[in-house]
Amino acid sequence: LESLVVNIDEASDQGLESLMPKFFKYINQVCEASGNVVDAKGEPFSFDLILKMLDKIELDFDEQGNPELPTMVVHPDMLEKLRKAPPTEEQLQKQKEIIERKRKEFNDRRRNRKLS
């Protein structure tokens, strides 16, 4: 039984090794086609890059008008860099402006929806 479990585990790893590159390539193509790609061009990970990403995506808002921000998954090293360099007041203001503009776009979309 142990041998069977080991073989299944190895087969699973091999399957992931061939599947995941194709999966990420497909996701990249979808993101590029939708215009949701931010090329850092070698720029280090920062709050400014997060703002560029936030500016690219469509946001939804709850009934109280709060943004439904996406979950971002980052490597622990990147998270530590963000913690060591918290956003400036200027960056926080820019974030507020982006969210306010996205709220207006969201409300405009809701007003212009057509019911079938």
52 CB-near residues (< 8 Å, 6+ apart): 38
What integer pLDDT is reported at residue 50 of this predicted model?
92
Instruction: Give residue-wise pLDDT tens across range 58-78.
Output: 899 999 999 999 888 888 988
**Long-range contact list for 69-76, CB < 8 A, 24+ apart?**
74/45
What is the pLDDT averaged over residues 29-37?
Answer: 84
The dihedral through the CA atoms of 101, 104, 106, 109 has a sign that is negative
- Other CB atoms closer than 10 Å to residue 54's CB: what's the count? 19
Average pLDDT score, the chain: 89
